[in-house]
Chains A and B, each alone.
Chain A
Amino acid sequence: MWKVFGPRTDAAIELSLAGNSRAFVLDATGCTIGVKDVSLGVHPGETFVVMGLSGSGKSTLVRCIARLTELTRGQILLDGLDLTAMDERALREVRRKKLSMVFQHFGLFPHRKVIDNAAYGLEVQGVNKTLRHQRAMEVLEVVGLEGYENHYPQQLSGGMQQRVGLARALTVDPEVLFFDEPFSALDPLIRRDMQDELIRLQRAMQRTIVFITHDFAEAIKLGDRIAIMKDGEFDQVGTAAELISAPATEYVKEFTKDIPKVKVLTASAVMRRGGDVDGSRCVSFDDSVETLLPLLLEDPQPLTVLDAGHKPIGSIDRAVVSELLRSDR
């Protein structure tokens, strides 16, 4: 899909396709290329993270997917339904039933109590007050806000406010959740709490999530798959391990370089496939390499990696790990 801001979108796309840079296109046509020919598919239940620096077009991308801005070219399909072709009314129905968004600056309603903020999605659907408050209370409890329902958002701290944002998104029981840098405005410690909270919630609810961030560590922590975005394009899409072990461009490498691989990579990402699987000492596929170090130090015999169904799928020995440790330095 494409998103071009400005008056001469066709000309801008032509120029861009001909291989010209964003700056050149802006100079020539007065148009900003927000999203340049991006294609992506997100699987049900997956957390898909889009990571990029400020101005790379992440917000534009997610706003296009949610149709908060209109695409210049392309299509958005949700369960086979074409969002781009929908009229206002149909789109409103989809938003009410299937979509939700959490915003960077929260976008809360300061004149409504926490509970009425949380219940907003149900309110516009016409759900009666008792029912929607009941549902909102359940969700507020889940995100750890019980007891605050009668406060107003501005009486809460930033982290709590974003919990309200989260509650508001969850109350409508959406299939797809969009997060546009939801934790960027928070202090580091609170940000970590919120990330853990989200992981906990996602484990329980298994929603489809599109998560925007400019923080690579956050991307690795939350994402099943990560897209690295630069100048409106995807440089690379893949799992954290794929990005780290095989960065496609210099740009991606720049990000991955500072990441301690033993901490991030899981056993399944570094193991030798097949290999020497004697099954004497087993580890799980999602154990981080760091946790394997003591085992290997204590005994040089290779470890066997088991998948979710406890079947052996590969092995890890000292050579693999020392290779990894060397590249970390």
Chain B
Amino acid sequence: MGAIYVLWLRELKRYARSRVQVVASLGQPLLYLIALGYGLSPVFRRGGEGNYLEFVAPGVIAMTVLFSSLFSGIQLIWDRQFGFLKETLVAPVPRLHIMIGRTCGAASTALIQGLLVAAVAVVAGFRPAAASGLPLAFAFLALIAVVFTAVGTTVGSTLRDMQGFQMVMNLLVMPIFFLSSALFPLDHLPGFLVVLTRIDPLTYGVDGLRGALIARGHFSAVLDLAVMGVLAVALTALGAWRFARIEV
């Protein structure tokens, strides 16, 4: 247990020390909120769907967590290249604990990043419908973080070099984001998009988040929670299995 804690703490320390990157990484979500939230709002309103900023803010917050947690896998490759991974793997600690500590750390930083963007969204004019939904919203953000950190760990344990990792991630991240419910409502979609959005895990994360924040979920919160919960467990198990097979 001690190992999980110290490895978690390590990720947080490193995150806290990269303030410049943290601030810089808020730029893109801010742009999405302003350009999409305000730019598309008139059209969205004319379509009878209400305030687009309100609709898209949960999607942008989820996007931040998605990017941050997926790309956390690069830290694994980095640690392997620079040798620190060996130091942890030779310690008298089960590998599973090492993996869990790293995952918790990476997921926590992704979550913090999401909360920062949530704060930015509030500054930009976003207001959650009711404070009572916030704990559930937090739970959905945490689930998104765990699910995609596990994907990052799986890919990072499997590939050795950074270029390969970047390539796979770029292949994954854009479809996951754009083919989810982050940017558009799930009703009245053409058939193929109905299929694509429903096989995208992020759809359920964003939907749950939106339900909790502005009471506009498409599915029930229970379904969203169930899908994300099962995925979190299954993908973390997959990540642990890949991590156990790393040779340094």
The answer to whether A binds B is no
Interface residues, chain B, with chain A CB atoms under 8 Å away:
none
